[in-house]
Amino acid sequence: MRKINIAVYNEFFHERHDPNSAKVYPDGIHSALKGFLEKDSRVGSVVCATLDDHAAVLTPERLADTDVLIWWGHVRHGNVDDEVVNAVCARVVEGMGLIVLHSGHGSKVFMRLMGTDTRTLRWRESDDRCRVWVVNRGHPIAEGLGEGFLVPAEETYGEQFGIPEPDELVFISWFEGGEVFRSGCTFKRGSGKIFYFQNGHETYPIYFQPEIQRVITNAVHWACPEQRAYRYDLGGPNAPALEGPKK
Amino acid sequence: MRKINIAVYNEFFHERHDPNSAKVYPDGIHSALKGFLEKDSRVGSVVCATLDDHAAVLTPERLADTDVLIWWGHVRHGNVDDEVVNAVCARVVEGMGLIVLHSGHGSKVFMRLMGTDTRTLRWRESDDRCRVWVVNRGHPIAEGLGEGFLVPAEETYGEQFGIPEPDELVFISWFEGGEVFRSGCTFKRGSGKIFYFQNGHETYPIYFQPEIQRVITNAVHWACPEQRAYRYDLGGPNAPALEGPKK
Amino acid sequence: MRKINIAVYNEFFHERHDPNSAKVYPDGIHSALKGFLEKDSRVGSVVCATLDDHAAVLTPERLADTDVLIWWGHVRHGNVDDEVVNAVCARVVEGMGLIVLHSGHGSKVFMRLMGTDTRTLRWRESDDRCRVWVVNRGHPIAEGLGEGFLVPAEETYGEQFGIPEPDELVFISWFEGGEVFRSGCTFKRGSGKIFYFQNGHETYPIYFQPEIQRVITNAVHWACPEQRAYRYDLGGPNAPALEGPKK
Amino acid sequence: MRKINIAVYNEFFHERHDPNSAKVYPDGIHSALKGFLEKDSRVGSVVCATLDDHAAVLTPERLADTDVLIWWGHVRHGNVDDEVVNAVCARVVEGMGLIVLHSGHGSKVFMRLMGTDTRTLRWRESDDRCRVWVVNRGHPIAEGLGEGFLVPAEETYGEQFGIPEPDELVFISWFEGGEVFRSGCTFKRGSGKIFYFQNGHETYPIYFQPEIQRVITNAVHWACPEQRAYRYDLGGPNAPALEGPKK
């Protein structure tokens, strides 16, 4: 089995401008993600990109060699380069896995692949207790998580979330303030598998919680394509008939 | 547009043996359902069957003339007649709509149509506040319900619920005690539409709540087939070739 | 039941530049569509737009008053106004139905809503016999079509078609030359229903065939939303908690 | 990665009573399947059961140790032991993969898991050319099969096939006589993955064809659960509340 090449995009804005975020993620959310992903024996490499350098890092060549891309963004979605967006979406259709975290629901990449306005949801800055329930026990992304787990404090996301009906619903979150959220959803676009995961506010140490790390690691394994790409040619214009005329 | 013929099956056990249930539903849950359904202008007839008379009422002839069947049962699932179960499942495949309420999740009819052990769920006798959230705003079953509604006291159902992935998820319930539940789910089996709806414990006046009545009425409209049956013949053994041999 | 407002977009290029097409559709494909749609008792109005005037006709105001939009395009997809594309996609999410015909599979509108490269398919200019098989007998779009029907001569489309997995597959086409195609597919994006239908080459009189007219009329009924729009407000930033803190 | 334990059920009737079948599969279809499956490096063991001994072989203990069960049956579906059917269905829900071949579509096991009358289809004894098209290029079951492949002679199966909408459609078959068929379909029931595959008539050497062997081997890998079983306990009656009352 080949090693998995991962790329992580993190906007890296809050951690440099908001002291509450900087305290929790001094080296950025991407570094926290890279930190635990590199401990996984199936992972080959983890490359990080931020808003500042993403066009230089997430080149078509790099993407062609990436199995799974993880995406975290929030207040600077609009600044992401459209050519990168195009290249990412094309690579997903070709087979690259994509994991969209938390406020990445509003990213150009996710909006484009879903075809709806995925920014739509109810939300509240809070420190609500959040119970993440497994609703699909046999799913590889839920492996090792039992009935679910507790996140002690989380920003609240609530329905209705503006996604198309997911192919599979893996998690539903319960929030202390009365909301629910489809917090773990799978989609497929072309040959690429997509996983959206709600947890991960920038001012809480969520990406250091073992269950969260387990979810993301499981999702990387699940989203990794069997081949790095499923490129194929349709034979150009006017494919010949396979069967002769009956007349 | 033709009028909708409805049949309601209610086990009618609790209401006769449990004073708490009898106080709320003195004439049985079926009478409460019939009461509001008959007020709908599109509804033609509402026929009720209970455990005692269900084999006499839910005959193949009656079912053939029924557009939507509503099912409520709990502690006497095992006593339901297997021939009725066979006939109901065959009629659903032929196009009859089916609405399964609350503890009807463990009925033979629902188990058979789902193909899994749908008795599986977490539950608790409680008087939890239950918030029913709409997660599919444009769905006909959610019509008129806005973001969702509150049931002041309800028995708690929690995930994991042992259903196959629903075709559409319409509602998710939040419970005060920390649980979530996929409380409004659609499925299709053959030409028949199926809706499972979680709310409706026998000791709470849930079926008198306007929002609940709205959900069930909406579901009846949604589940009603355009034709009363989609019977068709496949031409007997050895259907002739449509195209001549090419050789 | 309110009347259905329909808008038809037709590129109207072939019919003015290709004599073979002009002979079959002298007034354009849109006129052929309008012709039979207006005969349906549930249809209120049918407004037509072509490449030349589409930005003036398909205004946000017009779209807001449209229940179902039908889209036919082929060699001038790139010339469609991006603001119209944005408005159409937003209206679909809000609840407007969309029916995409034949080579409309490569339109910006369809690409955007699907999130994949829907131009991908195998094709051949041909006069293949095409058998359209119903694979979902109880579906409203298949109403009245029995097992399926024959199109005597059609351009050949073959798999693999680059769509995401459809919510429902209604038709599969068989082609004399050896191909198959998922020719009737439903999708939902937000509150809007989408139907893709393969048949309809510009040089064959396909839109005059009764079964084809039946499919498109059925699809209009199916795609029409119960309300003209499902606009809703999420309460602005920071929705208040519904349940008090437990602490 | 652990080795995969496979069990094969083959009715083994035609091969002993029909000379045309005996000529092609002198040791039974199960032996042909076992023959190529055992060559796969990930396969641990392949145990075969026939109608004569299936109750003795497919015991609950054996099934508990089985990752993937393959099912071929045709004219003796009614003779399969109901306790075996119960045990197989329960094991699928628990996580065991199931691959149903050809006329296995009418088996009790498949009928039960689907919840519909899956015997429904159009068919014809024929030697039609059958083109199996891949409609889901990135799917693991289609790995290595390109655009699809040709089966030189096959019994004809045609739509409408009485299955519920598959989770994923992987193959569609084209038949010379004018039919199409959803020939490769995936479903999930509980934690178990199910694959139906149409090809495999008892009088044609289909199970010796490399592409067919590739499909079945791919399907075994795909259907194999990550854990051998996902047993779990829901904590008995009346699961305690997780969150204290708010009042």
* pLDDT value at D75 more than 70: yes
Give the whole-number percent of chain D exceeding pLDDT 90.
Answer: 89
Q: Is the pLDDT of residue D137 over 50?
A: yes
Q: Which chain A residues are within 8 Å of C245, Cβ to Cβ?
A: 176
Contact B211, B240 (CB under 8 A): no
D94-132: string of b/e by CB count within 10 Å (b at 16+)?
bbbbbbbbbbbbbbbbbbbbbbbbbebbbbbebebbbbb
What is the per-residue pLDDT across B13-31, written as a single tens digit (0 to 9) for each? 999 999 999 999 999 999 9
| Contacts with A146 from chain D: Cβ below 8 Å | 232
- Assess whether pLDDT exceeds 90 at residue A21: yes
D107 pLDDT higher than 50:
yes
Question: In the predicted model, is pLDDT for residue D86 greater than 70?
Answer: yes
B183-214 pLDDT, tens per residue? 999 999 999 999 999 999 999 999 999 999 99
Does pLDDT of A101 surpass 90?
yes
Is there a domain that residue C120 lies in?
Answer: no
Q: Answer whether the bond into residue B160 is a cis peptide, omega within 30°.
A: yes
Neighbours of chain A (3+ CB pairs under 8 A): B, C, D
Q: Is the pLDDT of residue C230 over 60?
A: yes
Q: Is B116 close to D93, i.e. CB distance below 8 A?
A: yes
> D20 in a domain, yes or no?
yes
Structure tokens given for A188: 């497929």
Return left, alpha or beta for A110; rule: phi > 0 is left, psi -120 to 50 is alpha, else beta: alpha
Residue C7 half-sphere exposure, CB side, CA atoms within 13 Å? 25
Query: What is the pLDDT confidence band of residue A66, given thresholds at 50, 70 and 90?
Result: very high
Cα separation, C140 vs C134, in Å, equals: 11
Q: B172 in a domain, yes or no?
A: no
Dig out the tokens for D150 from the structure.
């040709």
Reduced to 3 states (helix: H, G, I; strand: E, B; else coil), residue B114 is helix
Burial class (CB in 10 A: 0-12, 13-18, 19+), C205: middle
Radius of gyration of chain A (CA): 19
A 20-79 near C (Cβ less than 8 A):
none
Predicted confidence at residue B245, as pLDDT, reads 61
Q: Residue B124 is nearest to which of D93, D187, D239, comparing CB atoms? A: D239
Average pLDDT over residues A58-62: 97
Structural domain count of chain A: 1
**Domain, as residue range, for B52:** 4-115+184-223
Q: Is D176–A225 a contact, with Cβ atoms under 8 angstroms apart?
A: no
Residue in chain B closest to C146 (alpha carbons) equals B232
Residues of B with Cβ-Cβ distance to D177 under 8 angstroms = 241-243
Answer whether A147 touches B (CB < 8 Å): yes
Contacts with D180 from chain C: Cβ below 8 Å = 131, 133, 172-174, 180
Q: How far is B183 from chain A (nearest CA, A)?
A: 12
Helix ranges (DSSP H) in chain D: 14-17, 19-24, 29-37, 54-57, 60-64, 82-94, 108-114, 210-223
Q: Inter-chain contact D138–A95, Cβ cutoff 8 Å?
A: yes
Q: Which residues of B touch A172 (CB under 8 A)?
A: 159, 172, 180, 182
> Above 90 in pLDDT, residue C243?
no
pLDDT, averaged across chain C: 94
DSSP assignment of C85-120 equals: HHHHHHHHHHT-EEEEEGGGGGSHHHHHHHTS-TT-
Q: Which chains touch B (3 or more CB pairs under 8 A)?
A: A, C, D
B162 touches chain A (CB under 8 A): no
Residue for token digits 């997903």? A92
**Across the interface, do C243 and A176 touch by the CB < 8 Å criterion?**
yes
pLDDT exceeds 70 at position C102: yes
Mean of pLDDT values over C123-149: 94
* Number of residues that this document lists for chain C: 247
Q: In the predicted model, what is the mean pLDDT of residues D112-137?
A: 94
In a domain, D231, yes or no: no
Interface test with A, best of B132, B160, B188 (most A CBs within 10 A): B160
Residues of chain B positioned with their CB less than 8 A from the CB of D113:
115
pLDDT band at C123 (very low <50, low <70, confident <90, very high): very high
State how far the Cα of B189 lies from the Cα of B191, in Å rounded to an integer: 6
CATH code, domain with D53:
3.40.50.880
Contact status, residue A178 vs residue C241, Cβ threshold 8 Å: yes
Q: What is the mean pLDDT of chain D?
A: 94
Please check whether residue D161 touches C, CB under 8 A. yes
Q: Is residue C50 assigned to a domain?
A: yes
Give the closest-approach CA distance of B213 to chain C in angstroms.
19
Burial zone of A210 (CB within 10 Å; 0-12 exposed, 13-18 middle, 19+ buried): exposed
Does the residue B34 lie in any domain?
yes
pLDDT score of B44 more than 60: yes
Q: Give domain status of residue B99, yes or no.
A: yes
Helix (H, G, I), strand (E, B) or coil at B183: strand
Touching subunits of C (3+ CB pairs, under 8 Å) are A, B, D
The answer to whether A131 contacts B159, with C-beta atoms less than 8 Å apart, is no
pLDDT at A110 over 80: yes
Cis bond before residue C160 (omega within 30° of 0): yes
Are A140 and A169 in contact, with CB atoms under 8 Å apart?
no
pLDDT digit string, tens, across residues B118-170: 999 999 988 999 999 999 989 999 999 999 999 999 999 999 999 999 999 99
- pLDDT, tens digit (0-9, with 9 covering 90-100), for B218-245: 999 999 998 887 766 555 677 888 887 6
Q: Phi and psi for A9 in degrees, rounded to 5?
A: -105, 125
Residue A247 has pLDDT above 60, yes or no: no
Q: pLDDT band at C247, cuts 50/70/90?
A: very low
Q: For the residues C185-204, what does the mean pLDDT come to?
A: 97
Q: Which of residues 113-132 of B touch C (CB under 8 A)?
A: 129, 131
A233 CA: distance to closest CA in chain D (Å): 10
Q: Is the pLDDT of residue B95 over 70?
A: yes
Residue D60 lies in a domain: yes
> How many angstroms separate the CA atoms of A20 and A201, rounded?
11
Buried b (16+ CB within 10 A) or exposed e, B18-43: eeebbebbeebbbbbbbebbeebeeb
Q: What band does D245 get if pLDDT is binned at 50, 70 and 90?
A: low
**pLDDT value, residue D242:** 84
**pLDDT tens for residues C157-182?**
999 999 999 999 999 999 999 999 99
Residue B137 contacts C where some CB pair is shorter than 8 Å? yes
Say what the pLDDT of residue A38 is.
98
The bridge status of strand A180-189 relative to strand D68-72 is unpaired
- Record: contact D241-B126, CB cut-off 8 A: yes
Q: Looking at residue A227, what is its pLDDT?
A: 83
Are residues C143 and B225, on separate chains, in Cβ contact within 8 Å?
A: no
pLDDT at A242: 84
Neighbours of chain D (3+ CB pairs under 8 A): A, B, C
